């Protein structure tokens, strides 16, 4: 059984309030913008995502990032999980990402997390993204119990939750 209805159509462009930024599904072709965004904020991102995902490794290469984006692109096309990149209006800068994943821990039907580059921490753009994501998930996604990791539940509390049993 899929975690999404068969007829679900994922959003392809999500404007942030203010009109200067938007979200769209990430693609392999975004690697030239993604790699410097991730590695430029790597130390802070590791403190957030490292314990759960082992990402982003200090040794991550451009080629590894490109392969990761290709995997994300394929997962999006198959509706297995979603990675939306935050861009400026002209898509000359990748400024963060939003992840929408099937649950790995009990008690939710989706797990959502997001980040912005170091330069946008505590700015109006980050505040707009923090406001938008929960509203967007509620309005445009078919989830009844989304879990906002790092927002409504801390990463350590999330990691302490029981895993969803795997069917063998």
Q: Would you give per-residue pLDDT tens digits along the chain (168 residues)?
A: 479 999 999 999 999 998 799 999 999 999 999 999 999 999 999 999 999 999 999 999 999 999 999 999 999 999 999 999 999 999 999 999 999 999 999 999 999 999 999 999 999 999 999 999 999 999 999 999 999 999 999 999 999 999 998 765
- Distance separating alpha carbons of residues 85 and 57, to the nearest angstrom: 19
Bridge pairing between strands 82-88 and 94-101: antiparallel
Helix, strand, coil shares, percent, the chain, to 5: 40, 20, 40
- Distance separating alpha carbons of residues 61 and 21, to the nearest angstrom: 27
The pLDDT of residue 82 is: 98
Helix (H, G, I), strand (E, B) or coil at 112: strand
The pLDDT of residue 168 is: 59
Q: pTM for the whole thing?
A: 0.95
E strands of the chain, at which residues? 14-15, 21-25, 82-88, 94-101, 110-116, 146-148
| Residues 89 and 20: beta-carbon distance below 8 Å | yes
The pLDDT of residue 95 is: 98
Q: Which fold has domain 22-160?
A: Aminopeptidase (3.40.630)
């Amino acid at each position: 059984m899929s975690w999404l209805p068969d007829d679900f159509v994922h959003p392809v462009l999500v404007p942030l309030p203010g009109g200067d930024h938007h979200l769209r599904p990430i693609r392999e072709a975004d690697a030239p913008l993604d790699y410097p965004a991730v590695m430029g904020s790597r130390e802070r991102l590791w403190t957030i995502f490292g314990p759960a995902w082992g990402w982003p490794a200090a040794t991550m290469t451009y080629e590894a990032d490109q392969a990761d984006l290709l995997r994300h692109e394929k997962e999006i096309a198959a509706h297995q999980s979603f990675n939306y990149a935050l861009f400026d209006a002209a898509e000359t800068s990748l400024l963060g990402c939003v992840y929408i994943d099937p649950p790995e821990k009990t008690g939710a039907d989706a797990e959502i997390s997001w980040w912005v580059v170091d330069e946008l921490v505590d700015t109006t753009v980050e505040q707009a993204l923090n406001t938008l994501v929960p509203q967007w998930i509620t309005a445009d996604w078919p989830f009844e119990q989304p879990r906002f990791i790092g927002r409504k539940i801390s990463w350590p509390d999330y990691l302490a939750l029981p895993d969803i049993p795997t069917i063998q």
